[in-house]
Structure 1
C-alpha cells in the first residue's frame, strides 16, 4: 500500500455560521441575545492520513464563544459524518467548554473508518458544531465539508465460503450465528477456516445459503456439489479447501499460551488464541501473574516457541518469556515469528455459571473487534452452566455490569444475569449507550 507522507497543501480558511438561540420563556429576567453567533474555522480543506503521520496533529478546528448577552457555561460537541448521510450515524466528539479541537491523524482516521469511509480514496466528510446552553437550548451550526483520505492496515481476506452443519456453532443454519468463515491465503485458489467443532456433521456452502453447497461422497478428501454430509469429531481444526480442484483436508490445529504466569500454569488447558483475519495474526486476552510463558501448538510440546533474545522474536524451543503481572492483549504473528504483549483493561465473565465461580480468576475474557467496529467485544465458544453471571473489568468489582430486567441492556452494578447450560457466542456492545450484551446459543 502506498502511503502519502505529506498534505498536498495547507490552506487556512474560515466558515462563519450564524447561530441564533432564543429564550424559551418571555418571563426570564435575562434576555438572550438573538444575534448570538459563532464561527467555525478549519485549518485545512483537505487531509490525507497515513501510517507515517498517524501520531501527528492533522486538523484543527476553532470557534468563538457566542455572545448571549450574559456569562454562560456553554458546552460544545462536534459531529462528523460522510456527506449524504444527513448526520444519521454521526460520530460525536465531546469538546466540553473548550473552543477548539485538534485531531491527530490516527484519531480522525479511526472515526472515518468507523463511518465506513473508503481507505486510500478521497471521501467527502461533513462536520457541524452542537452548541448547548442548556438541555432546552441546543442548536447546530450549518455543516461544513472537508475532503479526507483515510488509510487502513486492515486486510480483507474474506471469501463467500463457509462451514455449516450440526458440528458447527450455527447448526444447519442460524439467523444468529453465521457459517464458520473461510479466508483467503497466499496460495491461489486455497482458502482456510479455523473452527472449533463438536461431534456431528458438516458441509461447505457459499453465501450462507444452500444454492451452492459441497459435501464429500465417500469421505475421500474430494468435494462434490450437493455431496454427502461429512462426519467430524469434536476438536479445534484447520480446514483447507482448494476451490479449483475441490480437494480438502481437516487437521487438528490451535495455538495457545502456557506457563507459570497463566491461570492454568504449565498444564493444559492453554490460554487459547483466536485467528484475526483483519491482520492475518492471532490474538488472545489474558491476565498474567509475575512469571513465564511460552507459545505452543495443539496444547503439546511438539511445536513450541520461546524468545531467546527477549527481543520479541520467536524461536522454536526458545527460552521462556518473562512477563509482569497485568492484563494483556497478546498478538502472535506466525508469518514473521514475532509477538507483542499490550497491557490494557480486559472484560471477563464471572459468576457461578462460569468455570471458577464468583472468585477470580475470570478465564473467559472478551476480545475487542480488531476490524473497524470500535466498542464491540466478543467471546466465542464459552461453556456456561446453570446459574448467574456478570461482566466485570480486570477481575475486580470496581467496574462491573449486570442486566436489570434481563433485557439485554447492561447497567453499571446491575442485577446478576441468569444462565441456561450450553455453549455460547457472546457479543457485548459498548458503542451504544446504554451498552448491550447478547448470548447466542450454539444450535
Structure 2
C-alpha cells in the first residue's frame, strides 16, 4: 500500500507540472489544464450599507474567494477590483495573500467615492478577483459578480504632490501649490500660480515636508504655444518655466510632467452675454486662487473654458458644485450672479450667488 501511495503522488505531480533546466536551475512549467482562477463565495445578496457613524469599524462585508489553483502550492497575491455596474473601468479595492479580507467602513467608502459611486444611494457595483504568482504565469481573473452597496458622503483625502519652489517660499506643505491624483493611479493634476518676479525654480515632492521623496529635473524649454513637457530626473531644481498660471499634470511613476499656460478663464454658453461665440472673462484673485465674475445670465446653459478655446473646459459633474474636465453644460436661470471658479483643491468647484 505504501508503494501505491508514493506512485499516486508522483503521478499527480508529473501530470500537473513539467520541469526543465536552464543553466543548471530547474524551471517549473505549469500545465494550463490544472490552472483554475479564484472565485468569489458567499457575497451578500442584500444591499451593503456602510456605517458613517463607525468609520473605523469593519464594513459589513467579508470579501472571500476560493483559492486559485496552479497545480502546486504557489504563493498567490489576490487583488479585488471593483467597477460601477455600467463601467468597464476597474479600480483596486484591496490586496491579500489570503483568500479573504475585510475593510473598514472608511476605507471601503473612500474607494467607492473615488470611483464616483454616489453617496447615500444604493448602487450596483461589479467585483472581480485577480490572482497573480508573479512572472511564473499569467494572471487569472475570476467571474464578475455584482453586489448592491451604499456609501456615505464624506471628505475624501486624495493622494497629492507638493510643488515647492522659490515662487512660494520653498514650502512643501503649501496647500495652494499641490496637485492631486483623484484616480489614485500615480497621475496627478492641478492648477498652480507660478507668478513671480524671480527666475522660477521648483521641485515635485511626495509629502508635506522635506525628507519625503522629491524629484527635480533638467531645465525646460517651452514650446511655441507656451506648453512645457518636462522630465523628472535627478535632484536638480527644475528651471526655465516662465512666470504665469498653469495647469500642471505629472506622471510620478513615469517621471514626466506637463504644464499648460492659462491666460484666461471665461463663461461661455447660451445663458451668458456672449452666447456660444464669446467668453465672458473672469478675474483672478491670487490670494484665494479663485476666479470670479459678476454677470447677468438669461435662462439657458453655460460652461467654463480656458484661453478662449475648447481644449480645456469645465462642465457638469455628478456632484452639485463640482466640475469635471469636458463635462456637460451647466443649467442657469435668469438673474444677476456672482460666479466663482475655485481650482485650489483636488476637485474643481464653482459657486453661483444670486444677487
State the distance in 1 between where 2:49 and 2:218 align: 45
Would you say the 8 A contact 2:159–2:182 is kept in 1? no
Would you say the 8 A contact 1:79–1:91 is kept in 2? yes
Q: Deviations over 1:343-399 (max 9, x none)?
A: x99843344x5354xxx5557545668996657564543324434321123342541
Count of matched residue pairs: 228
The alignment partner of 2:62 has SS state of strand
CA RMSD of aligned residues (A): 4.1
Would you say the 8 A contact 1:76–1:131 is kept in 2? yes
Establish whether residue 434 from structure 1 lines up as the match of residue 247 from structure 2: no
Q: 1:383 aligns with which of 171, 188, 195?
A: 195
Aligned to 2:71: 69
Q: Deviations over 1:207-236 (max 9, x none)?
A: xxxxxxxxxxxxxxxxxxxxxxxxxxxxxx
Q: What is the Cα deviation at residue 144 of structure 1? A: 0.6
Would you say the 8 A contact 1:122–1:148 is kept in 2? yes
Q: What is the Cα deviation at residue 409 of structure 1? A: 6.8
State the distance in 1 between where 2:203 and 2:100 align: 40
Aligned to 1:172: none
Aligned to 1:100: 100
State the distance in 1 between where 2:232 and 2:246 align: 20
State the distance in 2 between where 1:366 and 1:410 align: 23
Change (3 A) 1:35 1:47: same
State the distance in 2 between where 1:355 and 1:367 align: 8
The alignment partner of 1:146 has SS state of strand
The alignment partner of 2:33 has SS state of coil
State the distance in 2 between where 1:418 and 1:117 align: 41
Provide structure 1 residue ranges, at least 5 long, that are not aligned to the other structure. Answer: 1-21, 155-277, 279-328, 330-343
Change (3 A) 1:441 1:36: closer
Q: Which one has the bigger helix percentage?
A: 2
TM-score, scaled to structure 2: 0.51
Change (3 A) 1:66 1:94: same
Question: Which structure ranks higher in relative contact order (CA pairs < 8 Å, sequence separation ≥ 6)?
Answer: 2
TM-score, scaled to structure 1: 0.42
The alignment partner of 2:132 has SS state of strand
State the distance in 2 between where 1:408 and 1:96 align: 38
Q: What is the Cα deviation at residue 440 of structure 1? A: 3.7
Map residues 8-407 of structure 1 onto 2, 5 A cutoff: 30-32=29-31, 34-37=33-36, 38-45=38-45, 46-58=47-59, 59-86=61-88, 89-135=89-135, 136-153=137-154, 347-351=161-165, 354-356=167-169, 361-362=171-172, 364-366=174-176, 376=188, 378=190, 380-384=192-196, 385-392=198-205, 393-403=207-217
Change (3 A) 1:149 1:355: closer
Q: Which one has the bigger strand percentage?
A: 1
State the distance in 1 between where 2:146 and 2:195 align: 49
State the distance in 2 between where 1:56 and 1:350 align: 37
Change (3 A) 1:128 1:371: closer
Change (3 A) 1:350 1:110: closer
Q: Deviations over 1:49-99 (max 9, x none)?
A: 24223322122112233342222122221111011312xx21113514232
Aligned to 2:300: none
Provide structure 2 residue ranges, at least 5 long, that are not aligned to the other structure. Answer: 1-14, 21-26, 221-227, 264-355
